[in-house]
Amino acid sequence: MNEKIRFKKIIRLLEKKYPSAGTTLFENKDPFRFLICVILSAQCTDAKVNSCAKQLFKEYPSDRALSHAPILRLKSILKPLGLANAKSEYVRTVAGIESEKGIEWTMQGLQRLPGVGRKTANVVLSEMFGISEGIAVDTHCARISKRLGLTFSENPIEIERDLTSLASKNKWGKITHLFIAHGRNICKARKPKCNICLLADMCPSCAKI
């Protein structure tokens, strides 16, 4: 089967399986707050981010207030997320940039911000502005892509390139969410549930992990 056709079928099956797949971050209406939450989500669950973000924005409701927040207080609020030292600095610096001159909401502009890489920029542009610059490759996306034989790379940039070459651009923003949902429910890092996976007949890794 042609790889583009195979990937199209994979996406179609996952869309039927996970029709409501999407961001689980609560702060998903305001671009600035959403950006902060995505930065905080590094190596952390969205559930923990939602809990900490609620307290963070309660105490510092504006970008200006957040930019002047005492660093020790930020570390205390963000401690449950891990990497609190770095995340506190990122949050306060990004808030200062938004307050003083405004964030440039482009791939290049976002990647100039501390704590923001291509994955974070892809997520923000897709979720907040409906702009598909690429595919956000997180751990679930990378793992499932390799297991399905859609890529043979370990490099997120190369994985993204392989996936975007196979998928229609109007699906780019959805692919990450579909793979995350499937990774959390079926194609787990350890002990994937291959026996009940709807992609089993198209997966070269089925029952081999």
How many angstroms separate the CA atoms of 103 and 7, rounded? 35
Is 201 marked active-site? no
- Longest C-alpha distance within the chain, in Å? 57
How many angstroms separate the CA atoms of 37 and 128, rounded? 13
Chain-centroid distance of CA 98 in Å reads 21
Active-site choice (87, 119, 171, 174): 119
Active-site choice (63, 79, 87, 138): 138
Residue type, 75: K
Find the DSSP H helices in the chain.
3-17, 31-40, 46-59, 63-67, 71-78, 84-100, 107-111, 118-129, 139-147, 156-166, 172-185
Using alpha carbons only, how large is the chain's radius of gyration in Å?
18
Structure tokens of 54? 């609620």
How many angstroms separate the CA atoms of 49 and 40, rounded? 6
The residue whose two tokens read 């996976």 is 197
Positions marked catalytic: 119, 138
